[in-house]
Structure 1
């Protein structure tokens, strides 16, 4: 069943993960979250997967948590307190897992990306959106402030704009999402798959070891002071320079030839 909920296809170095609850707008049910986490963890050690694309089946990318399932949790004696704590903890684990994966993760977004769905976009390393997509952290409209989605969102876009979205429940279009930095680029609906794949293919063609080192360093240095960040990334560049394939890549550039990189 989990294979059906999150489908996976790895072709030419690119793994495409598809959230597959189209009738529920790919809402993050307990089962879907478990399947997504399992797929991501498996890809982390898959040498064939150099880049990951995350997308949704049907009309939407992801509509957030499954509210019907959440309401059913209230039947417990504690009115759902333990279930809700566990739910948000499990969701947060997925969002924190994405930046730690060795591969860049690109969200391919269409339809809507709301609440935890918007959080999922913000947690990915890059995002390509169809121009008809709407984004929102709109839980406040039903009395539930999007506090956990706020973590990823406020690390993607300016604070005042994030706070406005969180407190008004307003939706923004893809163009505005790009202006704020939530997505990298906006494309026509019919070009979404091809444009996302082109970006993935471009990254997949780079030296995988360098990309893995670079992604790890990117997130490590963000919260450091400026001196700490330079000290850390300097050491990372030494590590990178000592790779056999980096030596070959630089030599090939100087000699104006294609690098002969070892199979990774």
Structure 2
């Protein structure tokens, strides 16, 4: 059986990156992309050189939150593809290559595109890469753990019963496969929930922090921009999460 030469290249691409934070969830609709973007922006504000990698191929949306012009601000070819800067963050997404057109991929085609994107992306001058993984624990999401040796998973949940059940299943799946740094609870009305705390204790993982439920968030992002939304509504919460991560 032949060895995919891209695997060795992927390892080299992340050699000088100190940490790779993989934001994941088994259930969609929990705000995983929001958490990814907020963490990346706050890390940048704290002085880290930050990369943001959107690995959702069917519905990439980090560029929408960043209001990034993926049609105009493209990766630059230089011994690979160097992600362009968006709001001071090196940002890479499949959206750079397909603009806003849907990308219909299945099976081994997804796996091939996934490996290709990791292999061609050159993270220059980058301390931390935040990865927005696709919803669910698909093959490509799980493959991150094997392909990027420094990857540490951060699972996002909400206080809802269904989301907490999904969190429990996700931790069960990841046990022994990936390094899990902890849990972020999103859309909270008044702090952490007992359901999530119970799961954290059961799996002996860490509760990294929580983010509040903000009514009309989409409209606020549209009118203010994501950086102002971070400053007004989330800054202290996000900084607390990063402190829990030692950042």
TM-score in terms of structure 2 length: 0.31
The higher relative CO (CA closer than 8 Å, separation ≥ 6) is in 2
When the two structures are superposed, what TM-score results if normalisation uses the length of structure 1?
A: 0.30
The structure carrying a bigger strand percent of its residues is 2
When Rg is computed on C-alpha atoms for both structures, the one with the higher figure is 1
